[in-house]
Every structure is written in structure tokens, then in C-alpha cells.
Amino acid sequence: MSSMIQEQEFDKKVDIGIWKKLFRFALTYKKELILTILIMAVVSACDILYPLLSRYAIDNFVTEGSIGGLKYFALVYLAVVLVQGGCVFLFVTLAGKLEAYISYDIRKKAFRKLQELSFSFYDKTTVGYLMARMVSDVSRLSEMIAWSVVDLFWAATNIVGILVILLVLNWKLALIVMVVIPPLALLCIYFQKRILKHQRIVRKTNSRITSSFNEGIMGAMTTKTLVREERNTAEFTELTQEMRGASVKSSVLSYVFMPLVMMLGSVGTALALYFGGSAVLEEGVRLGISIGVISFGTLSAFVSYTTAFFDPIQSLARIFAEFQSAQASAERIISLIDTPCDIVDSDEVIAKYGDSFEPHTENWEELTGKIDFENVSFSYKEGETVLKDFDLNIRAGETIALVGETGAGKSTIVNLICRFYEPTAGRILIDGVDYRERSQLWLQKSLGYVLQQPHLFSGTIKDNIAYAKRDATMEEIEAAARMVHADTFIKKQEKGYYTEVGEGGVRLSTGEKQLISFARVILANPKIFVLDEATSSIDTETEQLIQDAITKVLQNRTSLIVAHRLSTIKNADRILVIRGGKIAEEGTHGELLRQKGYYYNLYTTQFREEASSSILSK
């Protein structure tokens, strides 16, 4: 259950640059964001106003023993409460909308990036790795940006406002209370690194767990047949224990952090009571510190402000801890969005031909299908050369079959032609032009690729056949199905073309899925056909149906067939035997048999095996 790709390691503290990139998503909604901040400023002003109102009431009503003007005071107090209540309601509404908008935009941006990334990215990246980012990480970040950032502004406004009022009320007493701020800062610095370290482990392990879930579900049949349940459970338990351990450590640090902040706040309040109480009692000096004489109302306001002062500090500490935790998610999302594409069109090509999302189809030349390899070398990893100085010329409309042992380079040749990868040296020409001088979409729009393991999307048979041509008519869909003899089994379905195929086509057999994938490619009407072991995983009867279809469909189209069953390529214009990244033999089926080389030995061996299987099956 190991991941195919190594997670990028992060070891920085809170990276302001990453958060700036994420905050750009919030700045898309400037009006809503500014309005939310202004509303929170009003809420903060109301919070700051309450102790002043209490001070006024104590000094003018309680101490004086008078109720003159109390009615008007009550109305003012009620007005402040109503204004604050209305603002809190508006804040909750706007922040909720911001969270939904930001989540939508981040996912849209990340999904667009997934569409742009080259085949090589998916070739080495697990589904779980991506799902964890697109689901849990995005939700976490959108919540942070929408709520915590506004809370951060509220806390900062409260702290500044309260500090100013404390200094105005009695600056000496205010400075005494502020002595707890330096140790509070040291506390934040101490816990920051430790919380972030464990949260990074949690988010990284979460990807691996998601991947394990995906592999466990997709590979359920293999697990059962190989009796791997106990071993898989042990591996999964080990994985979840790693996440549990890191989560516990992170939670403990966070929950220890908050009480320590609260304790320091209580110390500040105690200092205010001790020195402020002496000032009320007109004892002016305590511990050699003179703060003068203050009223009982002022002391009450001072204690209220001191307590209130540490509330936003505690909120800042909580938000800071949340940012520590969310930093890991932020790194992972930004690393996905900033993932460079291995294959990109040049600016000149994009200017003329457009890109995948805004193609300039009016500038696309007609593709005929002539393909040339000129001194092409390629390696997936440095030092592991698959092709070296490889030359090949394919005429437009020619059918080429590639055979050879596993790892010889057959699929590599096909992947290079499709521009899923690009040569590390040399060049590939399509219709006489280096294909890097034209857009990827121009080429791939004219490709029909049928894989060994067909993939269907959730939806109906009709939806899957029309996947590459959404405006196809029902007549065109049915014609494509008839051409590959898929209509035979489709008509037997209760809902015909409107039958649901299930996730990945699970409700259909492998042969039926392959027939639908063939019909899908045929409907797209490509100039270049690629069949990569397309008939190796289906039964003989279905293979014969597909062979009949191939004979019809490949006429006058450039075709490349990677084949395991040599009986399926006897009619190819040329058969290339690939060995060690080189063309070892070349010719028609008959010519290669007469040479009595590698192909002859391979064919005769396979022929005997098939004949023996046929006899035994009778």
C-alpha cells in the first residue's frame, strides 16, 4: 500500500509567501471581505464600549446613589447590544459565504491544474495523494481564510483599542499589566515549531491513508483471492497509528498552549486588581510603585479591560496555533497548484494555436498522420536510457504493429508519439513539422487511444460513447456502436443506451467496456489510432468482434498497435520488433516469418500454446 510518489517535504516555519498566495483567493471577493472586516470592527468597538458604559454607571449611579439619567443610559446600552447582535448575524452570514466561495475557487484552480498536468504526473501520483488535497486540505484552508483571518482582525482591533483606553485611564497601571506580554511571546515561539512539525506528519499520513482506502476498495477482488486481509489490516493499522500518534502530540501541545496563555492572562488581571485596588483605597504606592488614586468605576473598567485584553490575545494564540496546523495543508495545496507541467507549449505556439482551455482551432492545420522519429533518445530517469538515437518513419495511413518483450520500449514509442512525454534528445515530426512547434491539443485532438484496461466514467452507455463529442447525435452514437458490434449487447440491456455503467464501468464485463471504449474513440473520428494491448484482456469472441471493427476503422488512418497476441497483427502494413530500444526486425507478417528470427520464434511458440489451449478446452 505504498504511495507511488514521495511527498514533498516541508521544513519551514509559517511561510508568509504561501499564505499570500492563498489570500489571493479571498481578495477575489474584496467587497464581501471588506464589509466583513468593517462589521467586525463595529463588533470590536461595541466590545470596547461595554466597560466604559459600566464605568459610567458605577461612578454616576452606584457610587452617587442616583438614578437620574438611568433611562437614557439603558437605551444607549440596549442600542449597543442590538447593533452588536445585528453585526454578529451579518458576520456569520458573510463569513459562511466567503468560506463557500473560497473553497469553490481553490478546488476549481486545483482541478484546472490537474487538467493541465502532463501524463507523466499521473503516471507517478496516486489517487489518494490528490484526493486528500482536493477534499480535506481545501476544506481546512477555506475555513481558515474565511473565519480565522476575520477573527484575527477582530482580535488585533480589540487589543489595540483596549491598550489605548488602558493607557488613557492609567498609563502606569497599564504598563504593569503589560509585563506578561514578553513571556507570552516566548510561549508562542516555543510552541509554534512543535505544533507545525506534528501537523505536517498528520497531513502527510492522511494522504497515505486516503490512498490506502482507494487501493483497498479498487483492489478488493485481488485482496480476497490472495487472502491479504490480515496483512492489509496490519499495514493500515500501522499507518493509522502513525497518524494517531502525531495527532495526539499536536492536540496535547495545542491544549497545553491555551491554558498557559489563559494563566498569563489571569496573572495580568491579578496585577490589575492588586495595584488598582490599592489605588481605589487611596494607598497610592505598592511595592514602591506609585500609580495615583483612581475611582471604583475606573478600577472596574480596568479589570474588565484587562480580562477583555487577554481574550483577544487568547484568540490570537488559538488562531496562531490553527495557522500552525493549517500551514501543512497550505503547503500541500500550493505545491499542487504550483506543480510545473513537464510538457508545455511555447508562448509562440500558444499565441497561434491557443491552449487546452481557449484553443484557436481556426489556426489548426489539417493533420494527415505522417510521423517521423529523428535521432530520438529518451529516458524516464537520468541514466536509464530507454531509446537512443531512434529513427522511424511512418507514412500517413500506415498501420504499424510493435512487438517485443516487456520493457523493450514499445509503450515508450507510443507515449512519445502521443506527446505524453517528449524526447530528451532528437525530435519527432508530425506531417513534417516538429510537434513542439504546434499545440499539444492540436495533436491529441486527432488521437484515438485505446488502452489495455478500458476506463468508463460514471453515467450511461450513451454518455460514455459521446464523452469526446458531447454534441453527437443519437444516430452517430448508435452508428459508432454498430461499427464495433457493441450494439449487440447494448440492446440486451433493459435501458439500452441509457443503462448506468457504474463507477469505472463496474456493471459491465471487461469485453463490454472495451467495446464501448472503441465506440467512443471511433465517434471522435481521430486521424491517428493507438491500440495499446487493447485486446489482451478480453475473451476470444469479443476479440474477434474488435478485430473486425479494427479492419474497418483503421483504413486510411495512421495506426499503431502494441500487441501481445501476434495473431491480431497479421494484417499490419509493417511489424516492428523492438528489443532494447532498437528496431531488431521489420517487415510484414509473412516477411518476418520467412526470416526465421525473433518474431518467427515468438509467433510459433505462441501459436503452439494457443493450439494446445484450444484442444484442452474442448
Q: What is the DSSP string of 388-408?
A: EEEEEEE-TT-EEEEE-STTS
- Evaluate if residue 476 carries a pLDDT over 80: yes
How many CB atoms within 10 Å of residue 248?
Answer: 12
Q: Please, what is the average pLDDT of the chain?
A: 79
CA distance 503 to 431: 39
DSSP state of 387: E
pLDDT value at position 78?
92
- Evaluate if residue 226 carries a pLDDT over 60: no
Pick the residue with more confidence: 300 or 292?
Answer: 300
Taking phi over 0 as left and psi of -120 to 50 as alpha, with beta for the rest, 14 belongs to: beta
Would you state the cell numbers that stand for residue 191, as one nine-digit string?
Answer: 510552541
Mean pLDDT confidence for 192-197: 68
pLDDT value at position 615?
47
pLDDT value at position 211?
64
pLDDT value at position 3?
39
pLDDT digits (tens, 9 = 90+) for 116-125: 887 777 777 7
Would you state the cell numbers that stand for residue 430, as one nine-digit string?
Answer: 508530425
Residue 574: pLDDT band (50, 70, 90) is: very high
Mean pLDDT confidence for 50-64: 78
CA distance 341 to 281: 73
pLDDT value at position 224?
54
pLDDT value at position 518?
85
Percent above pLDDT 90 for the chain:
12
Pick the residue with more confidence: 370 or 452?
Answer: 370
Evaluate whether 454 touches 517 at the Cβ level (below 8 Å): yes
Mean pLDDT confidence for 421-447: 90
CA distance 213 to 210: 5
- Evaluate if residue 240 carries a pLDDT over 50: yes
Specify the 3-state DSSP secondary structure of 450: strand
Taking phi over 0 as left and psi of -120 to 50 as alpha, with beta for the rest, 282 belongs to: left
Pick the residue with more confidence: 243 or 539?
Answer: 243
CA distance 299 to 432: 88
Would you state the cell numbers that stand for residue 26, as one nine-digit string?
Answer: 479571498
pLDDT digits (tens, 9 = 90+) for 296-326: 777 777 778 887 777 787 677 667 767 766 7
Q: Strands 433-434 and 425-430: what pairing? A: antiparallel
pLDDT value at position 524?
84
Residue position matching grid coordinates 463569513: 95
Residue 9, Cβ density class (10 Å: 0-12 exposed, 13-18 middle, ≥19 buried): exposed
Taking the complete model, does pTM exceed 0.85, yes or no?
Answer: no
Mean pLDDT confidence for 476-499: 88
Residue 34: pLDDT band (50, 70, 90) is: confident
Residue 6, Cβ density class (10 Å: 0-12 exposed, 13-18 middle, ≥19 buried): exposed
CA distance 155 to 334: 27
Pick the residue with more confidence: 550 or 528?
Answer: 528
pLDDT digits (tens, 9 = 90+) for 170-186: 787 778 878 887 887 77
pLDDT value at position 9?
47
Count of residues for the chain? 618
Residue 316, amino acid: L
Please state at what angle helix 70-116 crosses helix 16-27, rounded to 10 degrees.
100
Long-range contacts of 74-81, Cβ-Cβ distance < 8 Å, separation of 24 or more: 77/53, 80/46, 80/49, 80/50, 80/53, 81/46
560: closest CA among 548, 578, 542, 538? 578
Evaluate whether 232 touches 1 at the Cβ level (below 8 Å): yes
pLDDT value at position 119?
74
DSSP state of 536: T
pLDDT digits (tens, 9 = 90+) for 588-598: 999 999 998 88
pLDDT digits (tens, 9 = 90+) for 90-116: 988 888 888 888 888 888 888 888 888
Whole-angstrom Cα Rg for the chain: 35
How many CB atoms within 10 Å of residue 576?
Answer: 23
